[in-house]
Amino acid sequence: MLSFWEKESFVEYDFVIIGGGIVGLSTAIELKTREPQANIVVVERGVFPSGASTKNAGFACFGSLTEVLSDLEKLSEQEVFDLVKRRWDGLQLLRNRLGDNTIDYQNYGGYELLQTDDQLTSLEKLDKVNALLMPLFDSEVYRSVPEKTEALGFSTDRVKGLVFNQFEAQIHTGKMMKALQRCTLSMGVDLLTGTGVEGLDEDQAGVGVRLANGILLKAGNVAICTNAFTTKLTHTDLKPGRGVVLVTQPISGLKLKGTFHYDEGYYYFRNYQDRIIFGGGRNMDLEGETTTDFGVPDKILSKLKNDLDHLILPGQPYEVEQVWSGIMAFGETKQPILKRQSERVFMGVRLGGMGVAIGSLLGKELAELITESVNN
Ligand SMILES: Cc1cc2nc3c(=O)[nH]c(=O)nc-3n(C[C@H](O)[C@H](O)[C@H](O)COP(=O)(O)OP(=O)(O)OC[C@H]3O[C@@H](n4cnc5c(N)ncnc54)[C@H](O)[C@@H]3O)c2cc1C
CATH number at residue 200: 3.50.50.60
Same domain, 263 and 320: yes
Confidence category of residue 155, pLDDT binned at 50, 70, 90? confident
Do the domain assignments include residue 128? Answer: yes
Atom of ligand 1 nearest to the CA of 325: 1
289 lines ligand 1 (CB under 6 A): no
Share of the chain above pLDDT 90, in %: 94
**68-104 per-residue burial string, b: 16 or more CB within 10 A, e: under 16:** bbbbbeebeeeebbebbbbbbbbbebbbebbeeebbb
Per-chain mean pLDDT for the chain: 96
Q: How many structural domains does the chain have?
A: 2
DSSP E strands, the chain: 12-18, 40-44, 59-60, 110-114, 142-144, 161-165, 169-170, 190-193, 197-203, 206-211, 216-224, 239-248, 259-262, 267-272, 275-280, 320-330, 337-340, 345-349
Mean pLDDT of the 142-160 span: 92
Same domain, 22 and 152: no
Q: Alpha helices, DSSP H only, in 272-328?
A: 298-307
C-alpha of residue 201 to centroid of ligand 1, in Å: 25
Same domain, 283 and 162: yes
At residue 324, the pLDDT reads 98
Do the domain assignments include residue 79? Answer: no
Same domain, 161 and 248: yes
At residue 333, the pLDDT reads 86
Mean pLDDT of the 62-71 span: 94
| Nearest of 320, 367, 360 to residue 53 by alpha carbon | 360
Same domain, 140 and 244: yes
C-alpha of residue 53 to centroid of ligand 1, in Å: 4
Same domain, 251 and 156: yes
Exposed (0-12), middle (13-18) or buried (19+): which is 282, by Cβ within 10 Å? buried
Return phi, psi of residue 193, to 5°. -120, 160
86 lines ligand 1 (CB under 6 A): no
- C-alpha–C-alpha distance, residues 360 and 53, integer Å: 12
- C-alpha–C-alpha distance, residues 288 and 281, integer Å: 11
Exposed (0-12), middle (13-18) or buried (19+): which is 252, by Cβ within 10 Å? exposed
DSSP 227-249: GGGGGGTS--S-EEEEEEEEEEP
C-alpha of residue 330 to centroid of ligand 1, in Å: 12
24 lines ligand 1 (CB under 6 A): yes
DSSP code, position 124: G
Question: Containing domain of residue 197, as a range?
Answer: 4-54+174-238+333-375
Same domain, 290 and 354: no
55 lines ligand 1 (CB under 6 A): yes
At residue 376, the pLDDT reads 81
Distances (CA, A) of 61 to 67, 80, 90, 192, 328: 11, 15, 10, 31, 16
- C-alpha–C-alpha distance, residues 263 and 160, integer Å: 13
Same domain, 245 and 340: no
| Nearest of 209, 203, 248, 247 to residue 226 by alpha carbon | 209
Do the domain assignments include residue 75? Answer: no
pLDDT over 90 (residue 302):
yes
Same domain, 215 and 339: yes
- C-alpha–C-alpha distance, residues 314 and 244, integer Å: 21
Do the domain assignments include residue 88? Answer: no
Distances (CA, A) of 315 to 41, 121, 250, 303: 52, 29, 16, 17
DSSP E strands, 25-133: 40-44, 59-60, 110-114
- C-alpha–C-alpha distance, residues 119 and 229, integer Å: 34
46 lines ligand 1 (CB under 6 A): yes
Same domain, 14 and 30: yes
CATH number at residue 310: 3.30.9.10
Share of the chain above pLDDT 70, in %: 100
Same domain, 14 and 161: no
- C-alpha–C-alpha distance, residues 341 and 347, integer Å: 7
Do the domain assignments include residue 91? Answer: no
Pocket test for ligand 1, best of 227, 330, 335, 338 (most atoms within 8 A of CB): 227
241 lines ligand 1 (CB under 6 A): no
Residues 226-257 have pLDDT tens digits of 999 999 999 999 999 999 999 999 999 998 99
Which of 312, 330, 348 is where one domain is finished? Answer: 330
Pocket test for ligand 1, best of 232, 328, 345 (most atoms within 8 A of CB): 328
Distances (CA, A) of 273 to 174, 252, 326: 15, 11, 22
Confidence category of residue 156, pLDDT binned at 50, 70, 90? confident
Q: Whose CA is nearest to atom 35 of ligand 1?
A: 19
63 lines ligand 1 (CB under 6 A): no
Q: Whose CA is nearest to atom 51 of ligand 1?
A: 56
C-alpha of residue 133 to centroid of ligand 1, in Å: 28
Do the domain assignments include residue 87? Answer: no
363 lines ligand 1 (CB under 6 A): no
Do the domain assignments include residue 287? Answer: yes
Mean pLDDT of the 128-137 span: 97
22-34 and 173-186 helices, crossing angle to 10°: 30
Same domain, 197 and 302: no
Do the domain assignments include residue 339? Answer: yes
